[in-house]
Amino acid sequence: MTRLWFPREMRDAPILDEGVRPDPPQLHYALLINPFYPKDPHASFGKHVLTPSLALTSIAAATPPEWQVSYWDENLLQGPPPWKPFPQVVGITVHLTFAARAYALARWYRERGAKVILGGLHVLSCPDEAAPHADALAVGEGVQLWGRILRDSEAGTLQRVYRGNFRRPYRDEPAPRRDLLPRDSFLTTTSLIATRGCHNRCDFCYLSTDGLRMPYQVRDVEQVVEEFRADGQPYAVFIDNNLGSRPDYLRRLCRALRPLEKIWSAAVTIDVTDDPSLVREMALAGCTGVFVGFESLSNDNIAGAGKKGPRTEDYARRVEVLHRYGIQVNGSFVLGFDHDGPDVFERTAEWIEKNRLECATFHILTPYPGTPLFAQMEAEGRLLHKEWSQYDTAHVVFRPKRMTPQQLAAGYEWCYERLCSHRSIWRRRPRDWRAVLPYLAMSYLYKRSNRIWYRLIRHRLTATVWHGLVEWTRRRHVRFRQGLEAAEDTAPTMSAAVVSAGV
């Protein structure tokens, strides 16, 4: 395999200065931290700064008015978290891949007098592991707990564990505190969420974590549209698990977004193409791309994972429906299912190229703690270790059934090398020549420019450098929509060639 360029700052967390002796904690000051995690050199570094996570900015919105709150993301390469002024309370989100870093940060702040609150999915799935590292745990929905935690800390009555649920009406939650974000560090700060939950409960997905009960809910369409408008960005990313779980809701949302003349992308399942008129509505509303979890091209793998949806032999036709309306497809594929043999890598790559997916994301099957897949692998004695930092879908942490761990690791790397090659990028170009240049620009700037991304992230130039390209894309899509609207009265659909010209 090709030796990849991998700078230390993308691989190792910032050093915590043990010699720091801060002033006493500033009362009514809270600091929220997103810990560092090592990046995958096979994938684009750019995906880590496309848009910020909503978890901490949503929690920040629940901060009582008498408290000051700040946000720090270690993955923006600006060094270790700040300590002047020293916070009274530190909230740290914990994911299994950066649990060790979260615990190191917790120790550093606690030793210097701060109260540390740990929350996030790993705290939910492994509370006994997390408890010794925190003054309190926030288990479950943090937005409803944060204000209570701060007031208890102020009163000296902090409890060891706070439990929240996801049953409170989603519309009642405040808008995220995007004003806390360093806007120049992200391609867009408009990360939006309109729905919570998913109609699938796949065995390998974090949504199937034992103890996580997340009933499907939606926010009022007007709330979502106003957030998009208020942030002043031309482009938004919906971070919903599946924006298309309720087609009637998605249709209403699209019609409300349409007058904004902005662009957006979202994760959906491929069954959103059941109704091509809904895909058309998405395009008219500004959808330029979708992230689709195909997961596998094997029906046996899909059934074994407990995922519902169309049969895999119908995937190609459904991709064409999205392409027909100018929507690019980023396909997500999981490698290492029980029915996968060493031939899965080339078969998957060939299918992606044949169907001209603009982008593809690969994941090694990873059994997250608390999921049915983890329980199965542990019972079968197939887990190789429990080093959580490697449970990142880029490392093999279990013993596959039909290949060796080494074959799976090498195949994963090969898939990225193949899809990021000049040959593969060219093979997947749009059929319409007018859309080729924008596609090539996206492919090379996003997938083959990690040296550039590293410098943009480190020098906080992401927004500055990308703004012109994003705005150009928005204007192109507005013109495309005008052509699509003009065709509404004359034909039920446009030809693929006409539509792709507007991508």
CATH number of domain containing 12: 3.40.50
Are 159 and 195 part of one and the same domain? no
Q: What is the 3-state secondary structure (H, E, C) of 38-86?
A: CCCCCCCHHHHCCCCCCHHHHHHCCCCCCCEEEEEEHHHCCCCCCCCCC
Task: Please report whether residue 364 resides in a domain.
Answer: yes
Residues 137 and 235 in one domain: no
* Residue 371: CA count within 13 A, CB half-sphere: 21
**pLDDT confidence of residue 500:** 40
What is the number of structural domains in the chain?
A: 2
Sign of CA dihedral 444, 447, 450, 453: positive
Query: pLDDT digits over 194-224, tens only?
Result: 998 665 555 555 555 555 566 778 899 999 9
- Give percent of the chain with pLDDT exceeding 90: 81
Going by C-alpha positions, the residue among 369, 293, 392, 374 that lies closest to residue 334 is 293
Residue in this structure with the two tokens 């390469």, named with its chain if needed: 77
Is residue 229 in a domain? yes
The amino acid at residue 94 is V
Whether 159 and 192 share a structural domain: no
Question: Exposed, middle or buried by CB within 10 Å (0-12, 13-18, 19+), for 221?
Answer: middle
Same-domain status, 21 and 70? yes
Shared domain for 120 and 223, answered yes or no, is: no
- 267 with 383, same domain: the answer is yes
- 499 pLDDT band, cuts 50/70/90, is very low
Main-chain phi, psi angles of 458, to 5 degrees: -65, -35
HEC assignment per residue over 352-383: HHHCCCCEEEEEECCCCCCCHHHHHHHHCCCE
Smallest Cα–Cα separation from 265: which of 339, 205, 371, 192? 192
Give the list of residues 6+ apart from residue 343 with CB closer than 8 angstroms, or none: none
Q: Which residues on adjacent β-strands are paired with residue 479? A: none
The predicted model gives 85-114 an average pLDDT of 97
Q: Are residues 45 and 100 in the same domain?
A: yes
CA distance 403 to 409: 10
213 and 359: one domain?
yes
Average pLDDT, stretch 422-449?
Answer: 90
Residue 266 domain-assigned?
A: yes
Q: Read off the DSSP letter of residue 25.
A: P
What's the CATH number where 314 sits?
Answer: 3.20.20.70
The one-letter code for the residue type at 260 is: L
In this structure, is residue 485 part of a structural domain?
A: no
| SS3 of residue 329 by DSSP | strand
- 40 pLDDT higher than 60: yes
Domain membership flag for residue 502: no
Is there a single domain that holds both residue 288 and residue 419? yes
Per-residue pLDDT of 309-332, as tens digits, reads: 899 999 999 999 999 999 999 999
Could you tell me if 27 and 83 lie in one domain? yes
Enumerate the H helices of 126-245 as residue ranges: 127-130, 143-155, 221-231
Q: What one-letter code names the amino acid at 208?
A: S
* Proportion of the chain above pLDDT 70, given as a percent: 93
Cβ atoms within 10 Å of 379's Cβ, excluding its own: 9
Angle between helices 450-458 and 462-486 in degrees, nearest 10: 120
Residue 370, pLDDT score: 86
For residue 400, give its domain range. 188-429
Tell whether the torsion through CA atoms of 80, 81, 86 and 92 is positive or negative.
Answer: negative
**Using the 8-state DSSP alphabet, how is residue 308 labeled?**
-
Lowest mean pLDDT among 107-111, 114-118, 172-176, 352-356: 172-176
- Asked if residue 157 and residue 266 are part of one domain, the reply reads no
- Which among 404, 429, 454 is the end of a domain? 429
- Residue after which a domain boundary falls, among 405, 429, 453: 429
What is the tens place of the pLDDT at every residue in 125-170? 899 999 999 999 999 888 999 999 999 999 999 999 999 887 777 7
Residue 384 near residue 399, CB atoms below 8 Å: yes
Nearest CA to 325 among 437, 475, 483, 472? 483
pLDDT of 82 reads: 95
Which of 198, 194, 214, 213 is closest to 309 using CA atoms?
198
pLDDT at 475 exceeding the cut of 60: yes
Largest CA distance in the chain: 72
Q: Are residues 219 and 132 in the same domain?
A: no
Given 368, 401, 429, the domain boundary residue is: 429
DSSP string, 154-179: HHT---SEEE--S-S-GGGSPPP-GG
Residue 358 lies in a domain: yes
The verdict on residue 487 lying in a domain is no
Q: Determine, yes or no, domain membership for 295.
A: yes
